[in-house]
Structure 1
Amino acid sequence: MVGRKSWRMTLAPLLAVPLAAALSAGLIVLLKPLLQRYALARPNARSSHKVPTPQGGGIAIVGAALIAAALLAAFLEIGLRGTEGTALALAVLVLAGVGAVDDIRPLPASLRLVVQAGAVAAVVATAQGRLLPEGLAWLELPAAVVAGLWFVNLVNFMDGLDWMTVAEFVPLTAFLTGLGILGGYAPEPTLVAGALLGGLLGFAPFNRPVARLFMGDVGSLPVGLIVAWLLYRLAAEGGLAAALILPLYPVADATLTLLWRLRRGEKVWQAHRSHFYQVATVNGFSVMGVVTRVFAVQGALAALALITLLWPSWPVTLLGLVVAAGLVGWLLRLFATPRRRHEGARA
């Protein structure tokens, strides 16, 4: 028999998705005139757009997610333990604030990095669960902060194409929400995952190619932090392989691009169009062609993550990781190859 608490914890994420989606879309409609006036993104070396387009839609995504999660947590009596929820909310707001300023008036990279590191450290230090054994516990905080800091920034780097962030993180958050509803993930992060999923869905119609609104740093930085926390919680609950598989495409694209730019001696902090998904548009792929492929691969990665959770033996885990790496490698190679070569090979 399902208890009252279990019933509430199942209902919360189901309500969070439509509530956050409605709030996100509503906030965008209200804020768009202001964004059009004060937060225009003008084309630069990194841009895929050719005309000035308002950015800052991430305000609606993050605001809707926080409001929906807070309302439902209070109404259904679901609370994050200790200081975890407070630290996460404050860190998200800090990154959103820094991103908002940077969208309007670019800040020094060193200042952004320091603030981001502080926000990530606060979230990691208060998060429930740990990954490393007691003897190595001293290493976990610095390692997790470095990984979290990179994840926050790579989500920002990967937000350079219409619907790209939607394609990457709607499958991931939908998977975590469904996993929690079925009892395979803690109720608190399940609620947050559902709220973030709703926020992204509410934003999606406005960012559909050709986008009328961009997310901006005000959205990509806090979205990266929330997803990093969700994955950390999943890993701490015994789903390390799943947590590695779920974000593998954006992690691989951003990390390989960074390493190759370093190898070429390029200034990695400067705007560029070297990511695989950006190169794909130069190689003849349409924007929709890129994002639909990313969405499909992210869906397949979610299926592989589920397999590692259902059958948590080392052979299954290893196989899941290998197949996931092969699938992502195939997509990266596809994007890096001029499309006419594929068409010539089929002719």
Structure 2
Amino acid sequence: MKQYVFTILLTAAVTFVLSWAVWRLSLKYKLYPGIRERDVHKTPTPRLGGIAMFLGVVAAFAVSSQHPFFAIVWSQPHEIYALLGATGLIVLVGVFDDLWDLDWTIKLGAQFLAAGVIAWFGKLQIYTLPLGGMTIFSSWASFALTVLSIVVVMNAVNFIDGLDGLVAGVCLIANAVFFAYSYMVFRDTGASNYFNLASFIAAVLIGACIGFLPLNWSPARLFMGDAGALMLGLLMACSAISITGNFDPAMMGDNDEFGRSQLLGAFIPILLPVVVVLLPLLDFGLAVVRRMSRGKSPFSPDRKHLHHRMLDMGHSDRDAVLIFYAWTALVSLSVLLMYIGTTLEWPGDYLIGVAYGVVGVAACLVVTFLPSRRPPQPAEAAVAAPSPEPSTENVR
């Protein structure tokens, strides 16, 4: 575990230092776009934080290549090189978009290309579905499912990039839960070395988010932009695929030892990677349906995302972000507690996770639908000049 802690601290330190440097250089050379009609922030703010996060990730992988604890993953270096190459490509395209607003078709094409590099050259694919060990017999079906999954998660994470600290905090919580899950899965298989690529990627992303948040917290001085959001989504998808796409519940041994709920034991490996990004996926799905029903491109920007609706309800931007944090922690921890309950055979088995979820949902619903400040009435908004809001991310 101490090797993972070192990875988190190293990535956080490198990301923080580089984020500060990127922020200062962006201000000095005015490397930031002007305010667009669809933007909700009031002051031009640099959006190149994704560069610092990417370099922090690269630094962590570089150091791991020299550490014997992580030698097992470097025994197949093509997987890592494909992963880093695809990440570098998506960060490069994201930087161009952050500076010059690329057409959505170019960005989507780059996303499919990056996902294809990972699936084809890195051989990181979904080969099995953890539903009774179902195997995907067609190599092309495996390739297509992998590419589609990566692209969907990338866009889902990118779509919620709308408030200061929102994406970084949500991804921090999601990866922390997924790290605990992936670490425990390998522990429960009886492996002598708990290292696995899924846990390592999650640890790296935890560090990147921790290092970036100080400059991204409201009022933000630096945005991660498309480069950072797409990178987080890509790596989170790869982390989930590296363990879920090759997971067979039978490897946990006798089901009586693994847990008393065979059905839950089969579903959790595929359920938890989904629920940790449940809010981004929900927002992404609603946005696609909303835009296509109006005859628009699913990637045309609007101001109807979940976080924008919470602002319209009367929440401040910080309150909205904290509520998103609470929902993310609720859904992900609930499933993690179910997994722990089945493996350790707690009293009540997975009911502890269910109880936590029920109580948490009730609490989250209260804070979500009881805003801390009254939303302005139309008449008041027409008379009074709007007060400046803290800077927020650009609308997706």
Aligned with 1:188 (options 197, 221, 243): 197
Task: Give the alignment's TM-score, normalised by structure 2.
Answer: 0.74
- Corresponding residue of 2:239: 230
Q: Output the amino acid matched with 1:89.
A: L
User: Any conservation in 2 of the 1:84–1:123 contact (CA below 8 Å)?
Assistant: yes
CA distance in 1, matches of 2:10, 2:4: 10
Distance, in Å, in 1 between the alignment partners of 2:339 and 2:139 is 25
Counterpart of 1:290? 320
How large is the RMSD of aligned CA atoms in angstroms?
3.0
SS at match of 1:40: coil
- The question of whether the paired residues in 2 share the 8 Å contact of 1:235 and 1:241 is answered with no
Residue in 2 aligned with 1:217?
226
The aligned counterpart of 1:143 is: 145
Which secondary structure state, in structure 1, belongs to the residue aligned with residue 232 of structure 2? helix
Specify the alignment match of 1:91 in structure 2: 86
Residue 310 of structure 2 aligns with an amino acid whose one-letter code is: A
Is this contact kept in 1: 2:112–2:147, CA < 8 A?
yes
Query: In structure 1, which of residues 28, 33, 48 is the aligned counterpart of residue 24 of structure 2?
Result: 33
- Equivalent position of 2:157 in the other structure: 155
Q: Residues 336 and 158 from structure 1, CA distance in 2 versus in 1: closer, same or farther, beyond 3 angstroms?
A: farther
Shift of 1:316: 5.5
The 3 A distance-change label for structure 1 pair 23 and 153 is same
- Tell whether 2:32 aligns with 1:23: no
1:65 matched residue in structure 2: 57
- Aligned residues between the structures: 326
What 5-or-longer segments of structure 1 have no aligned partner?
1-9, 342-347
Distance verdict in 2 for CA 1:150–1:181, change over 3 Å: closer
Instruction: Give the Cα–Cα distance (whole angstroms) in 2 for the partners of residues 272 and 122 of structure 1.
Output: 31
Which of 128, 146, 150 is residue 131 of structure 1 equivalent to?
128
Change (3 A) 1:134 1:145: closer
C-alpha change, 1:94 and 1:174, in structure 2 (3 Å) is same
Q: Which protein has the larger Cα radius of gyration, Structure 1 or Structure 2? A: 2
Structure 1 residue 33, shift from structure 2 partner: 2.4
Letter of the structure 2 residue corresponding to residue 84 of structure 1 = E
Partners of 1:279 and 1:335 within 8 A in 2:
no
Percent of aligned positions with the same letter in both sequences?
A: 25
2:43 pairs with one of 41, 51, 58: 51
2:272 pairs with 236, 242, 245, which one?
242
SS at match of 1:74: coil
Equivalent position SS for 1:39: coil
Contact preservation (8 Å) 2:173, 2:328: yes
Does 2:284 correspond to 1:254?
yes
Per-residue deviation, 1:266: 3.3
Whether the 8 Å contact between 1:56 and 1:215 is mirrored in structure 2 is yes
Other-structure match for 1:197? 206
Distance 1:252 1:176 in 2: 19
Instruction: Find the aligned partners of 2:44 and 2:215 in 1 and give their Cα distance.
Output: 15
CA–CA distance in structure 2, aligned partners of residues 205 and 111 of structure 1 = 32
Would you say the 8 A contact 1:151–1:228 is kept in 2?
yes
Gaps spanning 5+ residues in structure 2: where? 130-134, 188-193, 249-268, 376-396
1:271 aligns with 2:273: no
In structure 2, what is the Cα distance between the partners aligned to 1:219 and 1:293?
Answer: 22
Contact 1:168 1:250 in 2 (8 A): no
Deviations 1:160-218 (A, max 9, x none): 11011122111111123334454457522212211111111011010111111111112
CA distance in 2, matches of 1:97, 1:275: 26
Name the counterpart of 1:5: none
Deviation at 1:136?
4.9
